[in-house]
């Protein structure tokens, strides 16, 4: 499908069993489109996570000095911005919906290039001018596998929640103290503007342990009355980093 919102809609409508959406990147941080869709469709669950070491390549059938336009999705352009400014300073950057769309444009437009995968180069008959152009050698994206059910315990799990709290001094500190009190280790925290109310925020947390574990269960029970809204987005196995 064309974008992150469409992945959520396909899963929500039962057209597919699972969807895969980017959650956060080690260079750019949170992926806002994904967090926005969890706010809009909070009934969907994170069933699993995938961690990928992400590499980007500059694809074109022209030569480096001939490139005047570079196409890619916003995240790829951002993750390569320093390399691009040093190596193709004459080129303007253009956001498109996907790296596949970028490769199609690079193939049909003289003077154009795409930031995309090696597979895209093969599929669209493009040359790889430069490989691994990401600014960070440790560029990693964590993806959420979304579905409609919870995952069982494996013994090495994380749990994700989304919540809103009163807009008052110390309310977030009170929430976080519950995790300290119950010795539950936080692994991720993000705030995100709540679309339906100006100045209000939704918070996302994930932390070690399965929601069926005793200390996680105790923490969630204590958390609920302190939140205006609380959604358990799911428990899922901790994923290793994959090349």
pLDDT at 196 over 80: no
CB 144 within 8 A of CB 38: no
Sign of CA dihedral 120, 125, 126, 128: positive
CB 143 within 8 A of CB 21: yes
| Interacting residues of 50 by C-beta distance below 8 A, sequence separation 6+ | 20, 142, 143, 145, 239, 242
pLDDT of residue 21: 97
Q: How far, in Å, CA of 189 to CA of 161, rounded?
A: 10
Residue 216: closest CA among 169, 150, 146, 145? 150
pTM of the prediction?
0.87
Tokens 């669950």 sit at which residue?
45
CB 193 within 8 A of CB 232: no
pLDDT at 198 over 90: no
Give the chain's mean pLDDT: 94
pLDDT of residue 7: 97
The per-residue pLDDT for range 127-175, each reduced to its tens digit, is 999 999 999 988 899 999 999 998 999 999 999 999 999 988 999 999 9
């Amino acid at each position: 499908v064309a974008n992150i919102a469409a992945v959520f809609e396909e899963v929500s409508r039962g057209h597919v069993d699972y969807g895969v959406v980017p959650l956060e990147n080690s260079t750019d941080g949170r992926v806002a489109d994904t967090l926005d869709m969890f706010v809009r469709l909070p009934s969907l669950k994170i069933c699993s996570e995938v961690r990928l070491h992400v590499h980007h390549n500059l694809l074109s059938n022209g030569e480096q000095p001939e490139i005047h336009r570079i196409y890619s999705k916003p995240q790829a352009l951002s993750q390569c911005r320093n390399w691009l400014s040093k190596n193709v300073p004459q080129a303007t950057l253009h956001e498109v919906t996907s790296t596949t769309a970028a490769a199609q444009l690079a193939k049909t437009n003289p003077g154009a290039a795409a930031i995309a995968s090696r597979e895209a180069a093969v599929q669209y008959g493009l040359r790889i001018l430069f490989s691994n152009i990401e600014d960070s050698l440790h560029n990693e994206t964590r993806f959420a596998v979304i579905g409609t059910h919870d995952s069982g315990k494996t013994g090495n799990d994380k749990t994700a929640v989304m919540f809103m709290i009163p807009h008052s001094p110390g309310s977030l500190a009170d929430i976080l103290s519950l995790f300290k009190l119950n010795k539950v280790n936080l692994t991720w925290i993000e705030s995100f503007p709540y679309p339906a109310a100006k100045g209000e925020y939704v918070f996302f947390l994930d932390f070690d342990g399965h929601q069926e574990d005793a200390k996680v269960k105790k923490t969630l029970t204590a958390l609920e009355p302190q939140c205006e809204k609380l959604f358990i987005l799911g428990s899922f196995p901790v994923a290793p980093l994959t090349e």
